[in-house]
Amino acid sequence: MNKELYNQVVNSFFHCDPEAITRIFNEFLTAMQAQETMPPSSGMEQNYETAQANPEIHAIPGNLKDARDAIFPYFWGTDGWSSPLHLENVKGPANYASLVGALACLLKNPNLCTDTYSQRSNELEIKAITSLANLLFYHTDDPSGVFTMGGTTSNLYGAKIGIERVAPGTMRTGLQGKKIAGIVSTASHYSNQSVAGWLGIGADNLFAIPTDEAMSMRIDLLEEQLEKLHAEGYSVAFVTATFGTTDAFGVDDVSGIRRALDEFAQRNDVTVPQLHVDAAVGWVMSFLADYDSNSNSLDFSNQMLETIQRIQVRCRGLREADSISMDFHKMGWGHYPGSALLVNRRKDLKYLARTVEDTPYFSEADERRDPALFTLECSRPALGPFSVMASLNGIGLNGWRLLAARSVDLANQLKERLEKLPYCKVLNLQTDGPHVVWWVLPKGRDAKQIYREVQAGTMKAEEYSHYTSEIQRQFDKRSKSMSPKTDARLSFTTSIGYAPKDMKIPAWKAVFFNPKTDETIIDRIIESIEDLV
């Protein structure tokens, strides 16, 4: 062995050199700061073939600067979503309190599988999970949960608990031909299809309930579907409600679903399906759940107070959920992955549990807590709890209330102004969140009347297809003519989740996830539409 070269490797990469590391990190921060002043990037040209053809690894050991040089072009070529013109989707910039937490985590690199591998980081996970559970469930007696690799995984956990409740032992024996069903809404996230497939019940056994105009699951049709599935010999394992749909921020009536499930189970003498709530997007509204509108210490407008009161009614439904998925890396502006599964009752984790005998090299594991005994993953990063707790306590409850309310307020302002234009129609006037979905038709069209005809089912499919093509063309026209320095980047969806008479509704979309976005950007959106038509 070349001992001198070996020592060089150890000294360069396994001894902490604060000066060298800080110097390189400052270079990244400087680049990040420079990019914050730039308009949104449409994406640098990507050449996957070149990347695949040149997977070089240096033969000679180098230093930390070589490590920096290997990744810097890709760092510079990745948008940080820091521009206030980013309104495309449920993505915003990571807050810098989260960065502090993430850096602390990366320096220690704990693995949350067991206390042995993570020590006090596991304690921090319990603290973070309980803090989030207190927000969403509102101080339940014995909540629990874990951080996961993403919202899809959190939804998978909720569905799996439901399967084990209606078909005990499936974790070990498999479905064995049992007819297991799950239920979602037509506006739910597509990842639920993946969950059904990966859990083995099959996407064909995941049944979607139509929504009303507010993109909320229709309880009457849910009740019909429950009875129909029971009559066909299905065991309904779970109903996944949505608290903030990805396009229009629709919120399901969780309390209404709870009543429907309990009455269904009692009427048919069956196990109550798991009521899981996908709150990946909408969870942040829970910061407003106990805001005192009477004292109004944050000086919200009367209009905003009315909105907050409607939000509070919806948030109360979360207390009746069995489990909830939430993504802190969305409107928590945290670092990926910041997803978590929350269960209302700690005892429900037993449906996922393994024994110490199943994990022989974790013989010291404590069945009361060690996550490796019930998580899908073995190795789990601690970025979630570190970034969440740093963010929650850095920004504080009132800070979060201001951020959430400001996003909703900007969305309401855009809705109000768009709705005044005769050739525009806001499609989610009945939702209270940071999303706006709408139509833009050519001048001379009565967008509201066209929408009423679609809802009533009096419009022919051919005529409707013509209008939807116009809506798409108007969006494409704006995209080609927009100024990258002044025009917000919007997005387009082919279906907002509400489909009256089975007619899917496409829409322009803006999502107010960036705290730096302000009224001047709304002014320019309206101007660009008026110029367009």
Q: Per-residue pLDDT tens for 106-128? A: 999 998 887 778 888 889 999 99
- Distances in whole angstroms, Cα of residue 294 to Cα of each of 303, 308, 379, 397: 14, 12, 47, 18
Strands (E), 174-282: 180-185, 206-209, 235-242, 274-278
Cα angle, residue 192 at apex, residues 189 and 195 outer, rounded to 5°:
150
- Order of strands across the sheet that contains 235-242: 144-148, 339-343, 323-327, 274-278, 235-242, 180-185, 206-209
Q: Measured between alpha carbons, how far is 361 from 178 in angstroms, rounded to an integer?
A: 34
**Distance, first Cα to last Cα, the chain:** 74
Q: Measured between alpha carbons, how far is 351 from 378 in angstroms, rounded to an integer?
A: 17
- The pLDDT score that the predictor gives to residue 261 is 98
One-letter amino acid identity for 307? T
One-letter amino acid identity for 73? P
- The pLDDT score that the predictor gives to residue 364 is 60
- The pLDDT score that the predictor gives to residue 378 is 83
- The pLDDT score that the predictor gives to residue 139 is 74
- Distances in whole angstroms, Cα of residue 121 to Cα of each of 147, 359, 466, 484, 511: 12, 21, 57, 43, 34
Residue with tokens 């010291």, as numbered in its chain: 364
* Stretches in the chain below the pLDDT threshold 70: 42-45, 354-369
- The pLDDT score that the predictor gives to residue 310 is 97
User: Which uninterrupted H or E stretch holds 36?
Assistant: helix 18-36
DSSP assignment of 305-370, as one string?
Answer: HHHHHHHHHHHHGGGG-SEEEEETTTTT--PSP-EEEEESBGGGGGGG---GGGSGGGTT--TTT-
- The pLDDT score that the predictor gives to residue 78 is 87
- The pLDDT score that the predictor gives to residue 479 is 93
Look up residue 130 and give its two tokens: 């309980």
